[in-house]
A and B are shown apart, each in its own frame.
Chain A
Amino acid sequence: MSTSQLPEAFRDLEPYIAWSLSSERERIAKRIATPMDEVIEFHGKISARLEAIIIYLNQYPYSQMPEDGQRLCDMALSLVEISNLVEMYKNPAVLNMIEPERFVPYE
């Protein structure tokens, strides 16, 4: 019996389960707390599977996601959170932005 928290086809992403965070506040905190080389590794692994993730999750209406699918979705949201750091800013944050803890998201 497996203890995987992700859908069967995405078990290879299990090592990155700590990125499966349901709120933007948590995703930002994780981004800030993670060294850049680990962010780059996560980005490489998940973005290679992003298309497959979307095709898989699109079989569910957005409001009726099973739990393992929701965890996969939250992981993809973390990829979205960090994608610009890796693809554009090449830095843990944009230069010259206000301190993230002062810019508060409400969902």
Chain B
Amino acid sequence: MTEVRVEGLTKAYGPAKALDEVTLTFPDGGFFGLLGPSGSGKTTLLRAIAGFVTPDTGRIWLGDQAVERVPVEDREIGMVFQSYALFPNMTVAENVAFGLEVRRIPGPDRTRRVVEALDLVQLGGYGGRKPSELSGGQRQRVAMARAIVTRPRVLLLDEPLSALDRALRVDMQIELKRIQREVGITTIFVTHDQEEALTLSDRIGILRDGRLVREGTPRAVYDDPQDAFTARFLGEANVLTGLPEAGGLRLADGTLLPGVTTPAIALRPEALAFAVPPPDTPHRLQARLAQRIFSGATGTLVLDWQGQRLKLTASERDLLDLPAEGSPLWLHWPAAAALALRDAG
């Protein structure tokens, strides 16, 4: 089993840095989600660990081996690509057997391990098919089987589910998690989809412009985002900024939020409640109802406050007695729901 670690990893393409002093530990056997906006360096980090990208400076450890000088072929990694990258000229079984063939695993042993891997991804009877005869989800499973059958030290997944439609993606998330649990291989998973990252990962890391902004368990990062970027990127957040005073945070409309010592707070849309008469709490705002959005089980209120759009989500049941659009409305929240931010983003 292998802990993966990168230290001070930097990679520049011209003047722009795709990776900037990234130091990060991927725990042994864990499922690590890498998140970040487009162009933040997620793929570059993953490919540096794989060996396709040579970092300018920094170290990469697979277990206790430093691998910066080790070529891809010798790193003993498993990789799953967004496009699956199955070999079209080989059958499913041959695809899965390829890594074993490279390692000169003898025939009977090879066959057994291929069967085991295909069973693990629930494609038992599909060994004789060509990749072109499979659905997207099935191709994805073959790609997984091919990557894990060699028992790699680390499994690297670059947006493996993004080519699937939404319903299938949710199924495959559960599958992916089950497979990873069963094989216990250290896994690094790149995704655009923050919900996916929260669902799957034991730990997540958030990249921005090549720098690691935050790292921790999904719960810890979600509940305490610490800066406006993380708060907005992971889940939705209403960020309120003001001037810190002795008594709390003074907002633009004069409201004083007691107990806040930072220049900004984040309020999750689901933490907000609304009332027509003024609620009996200092943690409140007066806003104007701008729009009501129905989206199935939950509904969203869009409110206008000092020219800023605030969002409130609640179950449809709780949104029945609403005043007309355009009327004033009080927002309030429990004191603990105000997440302290060190910047306003």
Say if A and B assemble together. no
Interface residues of A (CB under 8 A from B): none
Residues of B in contact with A (beta carbons under 8 Å apart): none
